[in-house]
Structure 1
Amino acid sequence: MSLHFFSLAQLEILCKQLYETTETGVRLQAEKALVEFTNSPDCLSKCQLLLERGSSSYSQLLAATCLSKLVSRTNNPLPLEQRIDIRNYVLNYLATRPKLAEFVTQALIQLYSRITKLGWFDCQKDDYVFRNVIADVTRFLQVQTVEHCIIGVTILSQLTNEINQADTSHPLTKHRKIASSFRDSSLFDIFTLSCNLLKQVCASGKNLNLNDESQHGLLMQLLKLSHNCLNYDFIGTSTDESSDDLCTVQIPTSWRSAFLDSSTLQLFFDLYHSIPPSLSPLVLSCLVQIASVRRSLFNNAERAKFLSHLVDGVKRILENPQSLSDPNNYHEFCRLLARLKSNYQLGELVKVENYPEVIRLIANFTVTSLQHWEFAPNSVHYLLSLWQRLAASVPYVKATEPHLLETYTPEVTKAYITSRLESVCIILRDGLEDPLDDAGLVQQQLDQLSTIGRCEYEKTCALLVQLFDQSAQTYQELLQSTNSSTIDITVQEGRLTWLVYIIGAVIGGRVSFASTDEQDAMDGELVCRVLQLMNLTDSRLAQAGNERLELAMLSFFEQFRKIYIGDQVQKSSKISGDSREQPSPTCRFGLKVILPYPFLVTWSVLLLTW
């Protein structure tokens, strides 16, 4: 029996079978029947009946879903008049039923967004009938109930998101034409509306009860709307999220007024301090986008003023860090800090009035974060990225104001190194996941540390020498003792694994700075220690080995080869000079080195003089 003869009651039974049954066979039969229903001639009228008379929210959901499929199909599309009628019907339906089930409201808003996007260039009597989106939602925003306001704001937010996303069932060129037209005709007005509504929220802060679910929901939707506007793909590049720390937001020139007005930036900083931690990550996400606005939007004076307000806001957050105990807030704030350097030059930052205090606060925040490595490990990348870019900029900064990095980069380097060593015992004791097992994460952090550690390299080298000698001496004593526990040996092997990785990284960081003979000699001191350790570990391979430590050795040799042995080495340094000119290595824990790799044979004479 063809489904278009099915009664409303029978359709509702199919809805229950689709959404409520736990029996796979029954659900598959319902899906098959409803696909036939979607393709039936009277689907449109039956969907309206389901919306009007359906006894359950699932009936309304089915109707909204089927209508979305109808308006999206590319073969045999619905006539323009029918699509206009559906659009108007959906708006009226939402306006007269503000308390539908959330998933039904979302499905209907999705239907409205899809009709609007696909009909963006459709005309009726020289009028682009689907473009009056702000007028469509004004009726919701003017009503005094919070529920209506939420629907209106959600419509704009979902529409912005819908138009920003390419649809695989339609040509990419059509998507870009629609997205560009929407950007030029409507997006700024929508963003301005969202900011004005947020300002009203701030102004009525005393009357706003965020413990009330509906008021909380309204503020969340406003923040999502603002973020969707700022996160729009303005130039059609579809930036890969994996490179978001390098992203520049290509705000159109027509938006300049919003960012020259400091009240826009101040609005989001004020919101951060006045709303609960459950919502403030969205505020910080907006601030990340605002901080990434393209440099060319401003002239030099305007950019300096904008940066000054941005740094002041960051300083205020650092001075009142209570909300950063929330992992989501913490993560977004780390992203915000990283954008300070990815979008601005060190020479610009040092000219900000509060720079000395801000760089001190950022350094303290970074050190504390590194010491509590288990809190939000995925966020550390952004902090190291910030310091890596700051350190790499030191040779090029021309400003007369002090950058103070010679004071703070050693603190960051020390915090990273010591926290990794301290983590070894904690991971073994508590059975936590070992970061050393994530080769990609380790390599990423080491690449960043390689630049940070070469800034004030004397301090980095002295710290590594001290820590390595302590761990190596303890390790050797444990191996020679008959009463040593396996746990104690494993802890020292873990510490030495991190140290070998880090030594390889800082040697590899030599390419980031103009190196001196003294720094090459420091490299020699570090290399000597790793080679001594290698001799010790090789001597006990027959009894036991440590895979992580061996991998660290391979990483170290790869870095050493690139810097001092590879074909591209431009400079003959003392590290490979006549051994008679070399001081004897100071790291001696009773081992004579036997080099097993052919390309290192000359080192037995040139570096390791015993």
Structure 2
Amino acid sequence: MCDEQELVQLETLCKKLYESSDSDERKQAESALLMFSNSLDCLPKCQLLLERRDSAFAQLLAATTLTKLITRNPTGLSVDQRLDIRNYILNYLASNPKLAPFVLQALVTLFARITKVGWVDMKNDQFVFRDIIPHISHFVGGTVEYCNIGVQLISTLVIEMNQPNAHEANRSIFRHRKIASSFRDKNLYEFFQLAQGLLKSALEELKKNKILYDDEQTLISNLLKLIINCLSFDFIGASSDDSSDDLTCVQIPTNWRPAFLDMNNLKIYFDLFHLLPANISSLSLSCLVQLASVRRSLFTNTERVNFLNNLISGIRIILENPTKLSEPSAYHEFCRLLARLKINYQLGELVKADDYAKTLELIANFTITSLRMWSVASNSIHYLLTLWQKLVTSVPYVKATEPHLLERFAPEVTRAYITSRLEMVNEVVMNGLEDPFDEIGMVQQQLEQLSTIARCEYENTCSILVNLFDQAAKTYQDLMQTMPQSCAEVEIQENRLTWLVYIIGAAIGGRVFLNSNDEQDHMDGELAFRVLQLMNFTDIRLARGGFCKKLDLAILSFFEQFRKTYIGDQVQKTSTVYKRLSDVLGLSEETMVLSVFIRKIITNLKYWGNDEDIVTKTLQILNDLSIGYSSVRKLVQLEEIQFILNNHTAEHFPFLSNSFDIKYMKCRTIFYTSLGRLFMIDSGEDEDNLIGYVEKYAQ
């Protein structure tokens, strides 16, 4: 047995671990408590610690120690012992409803763990851990305070059953799936119905009283989290984790159909969104995100139309009065809901919805407003652009006679994105707004989405870009002649041009996703020659020491997009993009454009020798050309390629210097890998030529 002195000592160690400001003291306490947790006689001591209700930290130690004991050696305790622990925990919670939140969470985690571990255990030919509701009915059927505990017990159990945890690393994933499937079939729908029933009752009370006390608000919040956990369950064992938002189809079992055919159940979540306080209303939207993702085959065609109509109607009502969306989490979840709407439903189905036209207009206005609000998080914008990207991509496949209206609204979204990015530049340079180019991966993701949207009514996109680019380029060139290079106005124009070059590259790259024609190829030529003219200007400045890293990276990105779209055997050599480039720049076919690209590569490697980002990106393009350009023999015949093959020394390429920084080792590897491919094409099977080439530069 454990005497009073030992219990006091454990309490003291807990206080030191969680409250002491002395790191050494905390480490000593942690070490001593770890020894206690691993001791063979910790089980009876944990019960005594739980009874010491004046020390929340001691209670936490007892709960976590019991969880570790169950996890570490499930078979070390008999079925009766584990049943006793479970029953004791439930009785303890019933007797102590006002525990500290972290103690309550530790105890419900213990309940969930011991239930999962014992799921396949039998006593008297019965699975004694599987009847959950009878053991917690006094919680969910009691006061708000007790109901909160019951809901947390169920919600934590659903999470525990859904995912194989780290403690199961050495146990069969098959065993986890077997337990999860059994739990899904026996308990999950029952829990879902219970939560929906409690939510419905709470909503009725909320409509009557219009006031939520703290414990009532907590209960509704926990009920919504339980619904989310139920709908997020891995019903078919398809995923090993829930971190990916790509798993957008909720594979609801067929026997759940009644819950989804009753549109009043869908309406509950829209009503709760409008009535709940802003700090928890986002949870109702999270539920709607999952409901919008329910597998299509759960419904008949008529049922799916009815469900979609109600879903779109609810979205329209939110957009007509979007005040509640000012709360960031609610805004984000609503953006996710809009994206899921298109992911799970075909455009041909959406256009037939009763409120489609009005709702699409509201969504367009919402998107435009969002793009112009620089405080909106980029991960929320991602979902809005996903919606429009998927809508535009679907246009060629729509067979419905109803108008999709995207030719009206998609160009407005494109214009809003372009102009808002340019307007943002002033705030970045003058007022210290966070620069999007510091997160270039996010920018490139948005541009990839925009590339499809921009091709819808492409003449509008091209007209906008031409006008804005010409204005920015003229202003920039004028500034170079009249103002010092360090002034803020120069930086503003360089950043604006950077955005425009990136967007032009994305727009040209979008050609591969949608059907194109000679007129659109001509528009691509209009955009491309402007970027190449700008590059000529910036390269002259570069040779004189005028560096703009962002703009040069944007030009390299443009090269990538143009190469993928207009260079290669799959592209018609008579494409009107080359006609426009020939008219303005004399570049009548792809090898001439390639010469321009290679000259840019040489220029960058010469003048950006001290910048790892530029050098790496430039070499990646050279490497891609050596791999991806189908007519490599034509590439090797270019004077610029021959120059590289015969002059790869530090004189021309500073990163090859013997005094190079170690960070350039990767750059040199990429460089010589590319040269090796090109040289082998150039020399064929002439071994003497290869040996002589290597010996020449080995020194």
d(CA) in 1 for partners of 2:310 and 2:463?
39
Distance 1:569-1:412 versus aligned 2 partners, 3 A rule: same
Q: Structure 2 matches for 1:87-126, cutoff 5 A?
A: 87-126=86-125
Aligned: 1:149 with 2:147 = yes
Shift of 1:567: 3.8
Q: Give the aligned partner of residue 290 of structure 1.
A: 291
Aligned: 1:546 with 2:544 = no
Q: Give the aligned partner of residue 382 of structure 2.
A: 381
Q: Is the 8 A contact 2:89 2:107 kept in 1?
A: yes
Distance 1:483-1:8 versus aligned 2 partners, 3 A rule: closer
Structure 2 residues not aligned, in runs of 5+: 586-592, 602-633, 635-699
Equivalent of 2:161 in 152, 160, 163: 163
Q: Is the 8 A contact 2:378 2:442 kept in 1?
A: no
Aligned: 1:18 with 2:20 = no
Distance 1:357-1:75 versus aligned 2 partners, 3 A rule: closer
Q: Is the 8 A contact 1:500 1:553 kept in 2?
A: yes
Q: Is the 8 A contact 2:559 2:597 kept in 1?
A: no
d(CA) in 2 for partners of 1:467 and 1:569?
29
2:97 aligns to what SS in structure 1? Answer: coil
2:279 aligns to what SS in structure 1? Answer: coil
Q: Give the aligned partner of residue 69 of structure 1.
A: 68
Aligned: 1:424 with 2:425 = yes
Q: Give the aligned partner of residue 300 of structure 1.
A: 301
Q: Give the aligned partner of residue 222 of structure 1.
A: 223
Distance 1:32-1:436 versus aligned 2 partners, 3 A rule: closer
Higher relative contact order (CA 8 A, sep 6+): 1
Distance 1:243-1:387 versus aligned 2 partners, 3 A rule: farther
TM-score w.r.t. the length of structure 2 is: 0.81
Aligned partner of 1:118: which letter? V
d(CA) in 2 for partners of 1:271 and 1:258?
18
Q: Structure 2 matches for 1:298-447, cutoff 5 A?
A: 298-447=299-448
Q: Is the 8 A contact 1:210 1:216 kept in 2?
A: no
d(CA) in 2 for partners of 1:539 and 1:418?
29
Shift of 1:483: 6.8
d(CA) in 2 for partners of 1:599 and 1:552?
16
Aligned: 1:29 with 2:28 = yes
d(CA) in 2 for partners of 1:231 and 1:113?
17
d(CA) in 2 for partners of 1:270 and 1:279?
13
Q: Structure 2 matches for 1:183-198, cutoff 5 A?
A: 183-198=184-199
d(CA) in 2 for partners of 1:156 and 1:256?
22
Aligned residues: CA RMSD: 2.3
Shift of 1:207: 5.3
d(CA) in 2 for partners of 1:240 and 1:486?
50
Shift of 1:550: 0.2
Q: Give the aligned partner of residue 140 of structure 1.
A: 139
Identity %: 58
| Cα distance per residue 1:536-577 (max 9 Å; x no partner) | 111111131100000000000111111111343256312224
Aligned: 1:42 with 2:41 = yes
Aligned partner of 1:89: which letter? Y
| Cα distance per residue 1:195-252 (max 9 Å; x no partner) | 0000001111145575522111111111111111111111112266564155111111
Q: Give the aligned partner of residue 9 of structure 1.
A: 8
Aligned partner of 1:545: which letter? F
Moved more, 193-202 or 432-441: 432-441
Aligned partner of 2:251: which letter? Q
Shift of 1:175: 1.2
Q: Is the 8 A contact 1:208 1:215 kept in 2?
A: no
Q: Is the 8 A contact 2:288 2:337 kept in 1?
A: yes
Aligned partner of 1:552: which letter? A
| Cα distance per residue 1:54-109 (max 9 Å; x no partner) | 53111111111111112112375211101000100100010011111111111111
Q: Give the aligned partner of residue 607 of structure 1.
A: none
Q: Give the aligned partner of residue 128 of structure 1.
A: 127
d(CA) in 2 for partners of 1:353 and 1:306?
12
Aligned partner of 1:203: which letter? E
1:278 aligns to what SS in structure 2? Answer: helix
Q: Is the 8 A contact 1:4 1:37 kept in 2?
A: no
Aligned: 1:474 with 2:475 = yes
Distance 1:329-1:5 versus aligned 2 partners, 3 A rule: closer
Q: Is the 8 A contact 2:163 2:240 kept in 1?
A: no
Shift of 1:301: 1.4
2:278 aligns to what SS in structure 1? Answer: coil
Distance 1:54-1:575 versus aligned 2 partners, 3 A rule: closer
Q: Give the aligned partner of residue 597 of structure 1.
A: 597
| Cα distance per residue 1:268-321 (max 9 Å; x no partner) | 111111111111111111100000011111121111111111101110110110
1:279 aligns to what SS in structure 2? Answer: helix
Shift of 1:48: 1.1
d(CA) in 2 for partners of 1:41 and 1:442?
56
Distance 1:20-1:598 versus aligned 2 partners, 3 A rule: closer
Q: Is the 8 A contact 2:522 2:580 kept in 1?
A: no
| Cα distance per residue 1:407-463 (max 9 Å; x no partner) | 001100000000001100111112122111212111111111110000100110011
1:250 aligns to what SS in structure 2? Answer: coil
d(CA) in 2 for partners of 1:328 and 1:244?
16
Distance 1:89-1:599 versus aligned 2 partners, 3 A rule: same
Q: Give the aligned partner of residue 590 of structure 1.
A: none
Q: Give the aligned partner of residue 503 of structure 1.
A: 504
Q: Is the 8 A contact 2:430 2:488 kept in 1?
A: no
Distance 1:469-1:577 versus aligned 2 partners, 3 A rule: closer
d(CA) in 2 for partners of 1:104 and 1:80?
25
Aligned partner of 2:44: which letter? S
Distance 1:544-1:218 versus aligned 2 partners, 3 A rule: same
d(CA) in 2 for partners of 1:209 and 1:106?
30
TM-score w.r.t. the length of structure 1 is: 0.93
Distance 1:335-1:121 versus aligned 2 partners, 3 A rule: same
Distance 1:367-1:242 versus aligned 2 partners, 3 A rule: farther
Q: Give the aligned partner of residue 588 of structure 1.
A: none
Distance 1:482-1:22 versus aligned 2 partners, 3 A rule: closer
Q: Is the 8 A contact 1:245 1:339 kept in 2?
A: no
Aligned partner of 1:91: which letter? L
Aligned partner of 1:85: which letter? D
